[in-house]
Amino acid sequence: MPHNPNPLTPLQERFLSAIRKKLIEIRNPHKDIEDYKSFDFYLEHTKKFGTIPKIRFKPNSLAVKEEIIKEVGYIPVTEKDHWRAKRNAAAKVFDSRWDNLMFRLVKAGRMLAQFNQKFAEERQTVSNLITLLQRCIDPEESKGKIYPKQPDPIEDSPSYAEELAQLD
């Protein structure tokens, strides 16, 4: 049986890809209509997992989470047929999957930090072991770029008044 270097299941891969796609869409500085959508990461203490990173979408977090869950191909089952109940169920599924992945990520980060502390030499920020480990990890090429919150200003373009003056 061949070695599978991917620690994620196909469903988790689709979930993360759908989130990445949504983040790229939200932060795209070249979109035609400004919709004031945004997202941010923050820390939250959960009873089950402790403190983990969470994601918040604005202005309508439940709707965005529902879109992502639908794109993954998961249809949550609810007792009610009301759209709000379906949206809440999808958001709960999103939060559950996110929390599980973030718990695994925090756990892996703690393990990495412990190895780095144990094997770092004096005045060494990153140990040789961790440097070698980075060479073993070949991240999958991701298409698309998540832009910064404020896109870089475009220079060398004439102002609106200058463009009008050129038309005359």
Q: What is the pLDDT of residues 34-74, one digit of tens each?
A: 778 889 999 999 888 889 999 999 988 999 999 999 999 88
In a domain, 59, yes or no: yes
In a domain, 32, yes or no: yes
Domain count, the chain: 1
In a domain, 94, yes or no: yes
For residue 168, give the amino acid letter: D
Cβ contacts of 49 within 8 Å, gap of 6 or more = 99, 102, 103, 106
> Which is more confident, 39 or 29?
39
In a domain, 47, yes or no: yes
In Å, how far are 98, 152, 153, 159 from 156, measured between CA atoms? 43, 13, 10, 9
The predicted-structure confidence for 93-123, as pLDDT tens digits, reads as follows 999 999 999 999 999 999 999 999 999 898 8
Whether 166 and 158 have beta carbons less than 8 Å apart is answered as yes
Which of 124, 148, 158 is closest to 38 using CA atoms?
148
In a domain, 48, yes or no: yes
